A and B are shown apart, each in its own frame.
Chain A
Amino acid sequence: MPAVKKRPPREWLSRLLDSLLPVFATLAALFIGAVMLLFLRVNPLEAYKALWDGAFGSSNAIAETLVKATPLLLVALGICISFRGDVINIGGEGQMIVGAILATWVGLTFTTLPGWLVITFAMLAGFLGGALWGGIPGFLKAYFNVNEILSTVMMNAIAVQLMNYLLRGPMIDPAQAELASKIPQTAPLLDVFRLPRLVPTRLHLGALIAVILAILVYILLWRTTLGYRIRAVGQNPHAARYAGIQVQRYMVLALLLSGAFSGLAGATQVYGVNYRMITDGSASGFTGSAGFNGIVAALFGQLHPIWSIPASVLFGALLVGANKMQRMVQVPSALVIALNGLVVVFVVSSEIWRRRRQRQRLAAADHEEEEPPRAETGRAEAGA
């Protein structure tokens, strides 16, 4: 957050436009989507009305949007940390799964403890599970030069099979083990272990936890030595090493923390939404692809923990609304996925205008004021 001094009104407007840029880009993508809808002989206005209704049309819709946004935000917070540390974590899916497994195990094992204690332990277990699954690629990168994209892709696949194995074997619901159908799911959590709901909708405490953590991550990144060092390593590892920072250690830490937040996202999905773990054999069946979409949300939020909050809500709204659109006008769900892809491409492409204006502002300020915080997407200039 830049310190607000006296600025010319033009600049204020320009900053406002910047923050609305993802919204404009989304609308532009939906415009192309409208053409596709016309090809499917669907009235785009009717379709987008449904999309809007699904995302914001009622209190229940808003709650659903926020429920969807919660894991996105948690994953995004982790991504803010790892991308700032210049490590690319695309293992969010696996980290969510392992975090959820550990958290579920806590809830199914310590059934005699009070609810608040189990929930606390479970969230910690989720955090730990994710940290483990993110820490391994971090460790391998730092000490064995194993690229993190490779290891996280592989670890995602491993986590899925681990989940399948546990849910149809050692952790299967005892009731299902008796039946011929043997649905691969764990026993349900006790009612007292559920994350409390905030209003009479599906909106649960996890959303609040995520927002609080967003503030904590902001403090971590910009107000602590640890955060400073992670960012320093990310911006220029050579300079950081020269300054006496143990680069390896902070690489591991960045991935570990990033995984931890994804693991927590997995834990909140179990304790706030599903109340048990179920697998359909794929990662996304459980995660809803939040491990990937969270990356997108983080980038929409310019890799800033606070801005990631509205960005996650926007993206969550799009996901929830698009499903509603699918139901109301009966378009194939495939269109919804393609549309999501377009939105991502458009938003990420629109960044260039923000960067350009940022540079113009810089030039205008003529170095008399302090430099605004360098956004990660500005790494191009740093690296070039």
Chain B
Amino acid sequence: MKKSLWFISVLALLSLVLSACGTQAEKPAAPEKFRVAVVMPSAINDLAFSQSMYDALVRIQTEMGGPEKFEFVYSDGMFVVDDAAAAIRDYATQGYNLVIAHGSQYGSSLQEIAPDFPNTSFAWGTTVDTFGQPNIFAYEAASHEGGYVNGVLAATLTKSKVIGVVGPIETGDAKLYVDGFKAGVMATDPTVQVNVNYIGSFSDVALASEAATTHIAAGADAMTGTAQMVVGAIGKAKEANVLWFGTQSNQSSLAPNIVVASQVYHWEVVLREMISLIQNGTLGGKSFTANLANGGEVIEFNPDYPLDANAKALAEKTIQGIVDGSIKISLP
């Protein structure tokens, strides 16, 4: 009795699904509406890499006059490279004006897909490589610049002369940021010791947290870190009242008392240029860098943290120096 009931409900659902297949309505996109699709490796609320892009798209949407003028859809959590490739191809098929592959691991897929959709514009970050194709934009963040500023600040504020860094894997954007940070510290005070811990994962919050505890036990009174698992480290910094320097997204909300400043990616600077190029018929072939000079990277000071006026002045001078080129950051 129960079994047959079960079968009937399943069959009913099946028939509903099948009948729905017939009632498909094509909705033509309004011609003036700009449509963007983005594929991201982590969640849109990761307070890190993916969120920086999501927030930028929201800002662009507001600028351009709301969802009527600017529509965007996203696939987040696309850490499987192969699935991301399918998503990119599918969005291109659906006729989006711009398809953003927001993850350096997606490059190979894009290189293969883009030639099949010559009228669609693609963007790939973080990298400088457009593969020489006319419909791929490349974008990257000069994360070492903000890292350098954070490093200068950290070296100024540390009293124990020990600074801890928590990273995911020693590569890409994370390595660039950490190397910039180290350079900033060394340029300010070479006697400060920078301890770096790469925990081998983008998701292991517990190990990131324990890495922070290790730094604190080793005497660190200022820390930084990059990628989405650092929320665990920020928690430890908060408990131990150790200063934190954020990157990618603004991390002040997590620990208002100890976050000094965050380097925030404002991808809208890059996106704005891309969109206007696309609207004028150029679909790619250019590479963009978000940096301190063009406002693609902004050092956002945490208003709740009582930052010493001299230190803040030094940070602003450093930013100015990087912008006008008087400070050259030498990376290993």
Contact = CB atoms under 8 A, between A and B. Distances in A.
A180 B200 contact: no
A362 interface: no
B29 interface: no
Nearest to A320: B86
Contacts of A279: 105, 169
A179 B127 CA distance: 9
Interface in B60-110: 73-83, 85-87, 90-91, 103-105, 107-109
Interface stretch (A143-151, A296-304, A327-335): A327-335
Contacts of B201: 281-282
Tell me what chain A mostly uses at the interface: helix, strand, loop, or mixed.
Answer: helix
A182 B108 contact: no
Nearest to A58: B93
B87 A24 contact: no
Nearest to A179: B128
B172 A181 contact: yes
B80 A289 contact: yes
Contact of A327 (B73, B103, B112, B173): B73
Interface stretch (B5-13, B215-223, B239-247, B293-301): B5-13
B30 interface: no
B170 interface: yes
A181 B140 contact: yes
A183 B7 contact: no
A324 B75 CA distance: 10
B213 interface: no
Given A24-B7, A281-B200, A323 B128 contact: no
Contacts of B81: 274, 278, 280, 285-286
Contacts of B173: 181
A275 interface: yes
Residues of B in contact with A, size category: 35 or more
Given A288-B80, A333-B76, A181 B128 contact: yes
A106 B11 CA distance: 51
B6 A288 contact: no
A282 B79 contact: yes
A281 B170 CA distance: 10
Contacts of A358: none
Interface stretch (A26-34, A113-121, A216-224, A243-251): A26-34
Given A168-B169, A327-B91, A280 B79 contact: yes
A288 B75 contact: no
B190 to A, nearest CB: 23
A323 B86 contact: yes
Contacts of A82: none
A184 B168 CA distance: 13
A54 B93 CA distance: 12
Given A282-B202, A286-B81, A327-B75, A275 B108 contact: yes
B13 A323 contact: no
Interface string B161-190: 000000011111101100000000000000
A284 interface: yes
Interface stretch (B16-24, B263-271, B308-316): B16-24
Contacts of A276: 108
B144 interface: yes
Contacts of B128: 179, 181
A181 B202 contact: no
B171 A184 contact: yes
B146 to A, nearest CB: 14
A17 to B, nearest CB: 10
B331 interface: yes
Contacts of A188: 108
B192 to A, nearest CB: 24
Contacts of B104: 181, 183
A346 B24 CA distance: 30
Contacts of A182: 171-172, 175-176
A183 B83 CA distance: 19
A327 B90 contact: yes
Contact of B9 (A31, A273, A278, A289): A31
Nearest to A167: B171
A183 B78 contact: no
A180 B177 CA distance: 10
Given A49-B20, A49-B21, A281-B200, A184 B82 contact: no
Interface in B26-83: 37, 41, 73-83
Interface of B: 3, 6-7, 9-10, 13-14, 16-17, 20-21, 24, 37, 41, 73-83, 85-87, 90-91, 103-105, 107-109, 112, 126-129, 140, 144, 168-173, 175-176, 200-203, 331
The 3 closest A-B pairs by CB, nearest first: A333-B77, A45-B20, A288-B80
